[in-house]
């Protein structure tokens, strides 16, 4: 279970996250919606430890994440798929995947190979291109690589930031299929997405953020809640 209580974070003097409470159970996808600049990305980065919270607690199961370094948070089972995908230049597809493996210590080389092979079974396109530089992939393939790199760590909490941005509809469908698979495997997914209609198809619950606070919550499958969401976002 993920429990976020009274979370605040800042960039310097700018108070971005202004007291967020959020809970999620294993196997839930939580959609995080809101206009540009309201703090959605900052919320994900704060959970992942890239931005240090100034107040509040973040618990995943029994572990308190607030204040831990990003690498420690990854090892607890949190994976962030950032908006800019962060495919490392100069590294092949397989080397990018191997970086994801390094976050999870204690596996034998054989077990690591099995993990990569399983990822290749799921993402045959990445297998075909495994020796190619990651940055030479198409936008959609880079998004798959960014997600696959997180999946090799078998995360319990996956933070996905605007995955469909700039991608063709077929690839977007693929991205959301992966989100569903994560949910079905019992992971918690926090999904920030501008593409609200597409995202609602995979969202169990949602929150709307304004100026760093949750201003609306709802059930992704409830028609009234969805109507409230769409009117709050004016989409
Ligand atoms: N590194 C940074 N330093 C200072 N301010 C920042 C930094 N990153 C973001 N901000 C500011 O923090 C606020 C929240 O940004 P954030 O990226 O979290 O919003 P968002 O809701 O994800 O919006 P978007 O959809 O545009 O990505 C914005 O006003 C933004 O300009």
Does 190 fall in a domain? Answer: yes
| Cα 41 to ligand 1 centroid, rounded to whole Å | 7
Does 223 fall in a domain? Answer: yes
- What are the respective helix, strand and coil percentages of the chain, to the nearest 5? 40, 30, 35
From 7, 20, 38, 82, give the residue whose CB has the most ligand 1 atoms within 8 Å, as the site to mutate: 38
At 112 the pLDDT is: 87
Pairing mode of beta strands 205-210, 78-81: unpaired
Does 130 fall in a domain? Answer: yes
At 196 the pLDDT is: 94
Residue 4: count other Cβ atoms within 10 Å of its Cβ.
24
Residues 142 and 128: beta-carbon distance below 8 Å: no
Does 203 fall in a domain? Answer: yes
CB of 36 closer than 6 A to ligand 1?
Answer: yes
Neighbour-count burial for 66-96, b at 16+ CB within 10 Å, e otherwise = bebeeeebbbbbbbbbbbebbbeeeebbbeb
CB of 38 closer than 6 A to ligand 1?
Answer: yes
Q: Which domain holds residue 45?
A: 27-51+69-233
At 235 the pLDDT is: 67
Does 198 fall in a domain? Answer: yes
Does 6 fall in a domain? Answer: no
Atom of ligand 1 nearest to the CA of 45: 18
CB of 84 closer than 6 A to ligand 1?
Answer: no
CA pair distance 36, 187, nearest whole angstrom: 27
Of the candidates 80, 142, 73, the residue with the CA atom closest to the CA atom of residue 104 = 73
CATH assignment of the domain containing 158: 3.40.50.300
What value does the CA radius of gyration of the chain take, rounded to a whole number of Å? Answer: 17
What is the three-class DSSP state of 4? strand
Give the number of domains in the chain: 1
At 100 the pLDDT is: 85
One digit per residue, the tens of pLDDT, for the chain of length 235 reads 999 999 999 999 999 999 999 999 999 999 999 999 999 999 999 999 999 999 999 999 999 999 999 999 999 999 999 998 999 889 999 999 998 887 776 778 888 899 999 999 999 999 999 999 999 999 999 999 999 999 998 899 999 999 999 898 989 999 999 999 999 999 999 999 999 999 999 999 999 999 999 999 999 999 999 999 999 998 6
From 15, 17, 37, 46, give the residue whose CB has the most ligand 1 atoms within 8 Å, as the site to mutate: 37
CB of 46 closer than 6 A to ligand 1?
Answer: no
CB of 37 closer than 6 A to ligand 1?
Answer: yes
Residue 140's contacts (CB-CB under 8 Å, 6 or more residues apart) are 167, 168, 171, 174
| Cα 106 to ligand 1 centroid, rounded to whole Å | 36
Task: Output the CA torsion 29→34→38→43 (10° steps).
Answer: 0
Does 121 fall in a domain? Answer: yes
Does 57 fall in a domain? Answer: no
At 128 the pLDDT is: 97
CB of 40 closer than 6 A to ligand 1?
Answer: yes
Q: Specify the DSSP class assigned to residue 201.
A: T
CA pair distance 13, 18, nearest whole angstrom: 13
């Amino acid at each position: 279970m993920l429990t976020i209580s009274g979370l605040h974070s800042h960039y310097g003097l700018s108070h971005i996250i202004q007291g967020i409470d959020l809970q999620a159970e294993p196997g839930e996808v939580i959609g995080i919606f809101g206009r540009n600049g309201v703090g959605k990305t900052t919320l994900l980065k704060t959970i992942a430890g890239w931005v240090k919270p100034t107040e509040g607690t973040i618990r995943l199961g029994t572990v308190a994440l607030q204040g831990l370094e990003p690498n420690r948070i990854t090892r607890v089972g949190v994976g962030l798929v950032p908006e800019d995908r962060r495919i490392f230049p100069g590294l092949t597809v397989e080397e990018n995947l191997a970086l994801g493996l390094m976050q999870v210590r204690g596996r034998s080389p054989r077990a690591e190979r099995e993990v990569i092979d399983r990822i290749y079974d799921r993402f045959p396109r990445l297998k075909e291109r495994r020796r190619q530089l990651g940055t030479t992939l198409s936008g959609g393939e880079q998004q798959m690589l960014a997600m696959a790199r997180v999946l090799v760590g078998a995360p319990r909490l996956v933070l996905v930031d605007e995955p469909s941005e700039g991608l063709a509809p077929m690839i977007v469908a693929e991205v959301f299929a992966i989100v569903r698979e994560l949910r079905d495997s019992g992971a918690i997914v926090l999904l920030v997405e501008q593409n609200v209609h597409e995202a609602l198809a995979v969202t169990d619950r949602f929150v709307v953020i304004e100026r760093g606070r949750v201003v609306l919550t709802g059930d992704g499958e409830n028609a009234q809640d969805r109507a409230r969401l769409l009117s709050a976002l004016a989409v």
